[in-house]
Structure 1
Amino acid sequence: MPHSSISGSVSSPKVDVVIDMGNPLLNLTVDGFSKIGAVAATRALAEDTYHIVRKGSVSSSDFEKTLKKTFKEGAYWGAIAGVYVGTEYGVQRIRGTRDWKNATFGGAVTGALVSAASNEKADKIVIGGITGAAIATAAEFINGWSF
């Protein structure tokens, strides 16, 4: 009986820029900041470009507003990523092991700090920590699965 098969692989493009700060903790924190910040800035830029194109005209005010939003989003999400990556790495170094518990703690600290920085009340800070822990833990488990 005839048999045929198709095999292949799909991979995403990889861009890796390394900034050596002389310390692994700082290196990972800056790397997380720059990568996630770039993604957030690109998303904000694409969103605003869509709105400008849909409107049909661009003004200097639109350009200035887009530029500010792009940098603000990049810095905001980059800072969150930097805190998460730095915290997770710090916990890994303290515990001496690399597992999902580091991600859970890193997510909890990051979620709580983001909520606290937003001038939230104590209950919201705790909920932010729980949410951050849940998201980071889920991401760690998903990344560990093989498909």
Structure 2
Amino acid sequence: MPRSTFSGSVTSPKVDIIVDLGNPFLNLTVDGFLKIGTVAATKVAAEEAYSIVKRGSVSHHNFEHSLKKMCKEGAYWGTVAGVYVGMEYGFERIRGTRDWKNAMLGGALTGALISAACNNGRDKIVTDAIAGGAVATAAEFLNYLT
């Protein structure tokens, strides 16, 4: 049976938007919002495109619904990312060091703030804070491995 192999490297294009608001805290927060918000909106666009292809029809209502969903998800995840990046940077400045503890504290506080903003109960806020701290810490440790 014939075989073929692929040799080489695959790279993706890199797009970087530089936002200068005159303050590193604001710069990082807005940068996190824009990058993750764009990823979330793109994810929704791909899901909605699949749904449209599966249904086999496009209508003005479906298109409008998809666009609203993209904006909503982009804004939500962008806000979460912006709050997290800002918190992590704030802890870095307060503690005077850059380590995994900043990620843990930033993730925990972000989880608690987002949960409280969604009018969740005390137990849910605590579990969301624990989850946010755990995910942020794990992501930080994974960054050290690569």
Q: TM-score, normalised by structure 1?
A: 0.91
Deviation at 1:119, TM superposition (A): 1.2
Q: Which deviates the most, 73-82 or 13-22?
A: 13-22
Look up the equivalent residue of 1:95 and give its one-letter code: R
Match of 2:74 in 1: 74
Deviation at 1:12, TM superposition (A): 3.8
Q: How many residues get paired?
A: 140
List structure 1 segments (4+ residues) > 2 angstroms apart after TM superposition.
7-13
Cα distance in 2 for residues equivalent to 1:106 and 1:66: 32
Cα distance in 1 for residues equivalent to 2:10 and 2:26: 32
Structure 1: give runs of 5+ residues left out of the alignment.
1-6
Look up the equivalent residue of 1:67 and give its one-letter code: L
Cα distance in 2 for residues equivalent to 1:14 and 1:116: 35
| 1:44-77 deviation line (CA, Å, top 9, x unaligned) | 1110111011100011100110000000000000
Match of 2:3 in 1: none
Secondary structure of residue in 2 paired with 1:132:
helix
Matched, 1:36 2:36: yes
Look up the equivalent residue of 1:72 and give its one-letter code: K
- Provide closer, same or farther for how the CA distance between residues 8 and 54 of structure 1 changes in structure 2, counting only shifts above 3 A: closer
Mapping 1:88-103, distance limit 5 Å: 88-103=88-103
Matched, 1:48 2:48: yes
Matched, 1:63 2:78: no
Structure 2: give runs of 5+ residues left out of the alignment.
1-6
Look up the equivalent residue of 2:34 and give its one-letter code: S
Q: For the aligned residues, what is the CA RMSD? A: 1.3
Cα distance in 2 for residues equivalent to 1:70 and 1:18: 23
Mapping 1:1-147, distance limit 5 Å: 11-146=11-146
Q: What's the % identity of the aligned pairs?
A: 67
Secondary structure of residue in 1 paired with 2:119:
coil
- Provide closer, same or farther for how the CA distance between residues 51 and 8 of structure 1 changes in structure 2, counting only shifts above 3 A: closer
Q: TM-score, normalised by structure 2?
A: 0.92
- Provide closer, same or farther for how the CA distance between residues 54 and 8 of structure 1 changes in structure 2, counting only shifts above 3 A: closer
- Provide closer, same or farther for how the CA distance between residues 81 and 54 of structure 1 changes in structure 2, counting only shifts above 3 A: same
Cα distance in 2 for residues equivalent to 1:77 and 1:108: 16
Q: Which deviates the most, 89-98 or 112-121?
A: 112-121
Look up the equivalent residue of 1:65 and give its one-letter code: H
Look up the equivalent residue of 2:128 and give its one-letter code: G
Cα distance in 1 for residues equivalent to 2:46 and 2:127: 31
Secondary structure of residue in 2 paired with 1:53:
helix
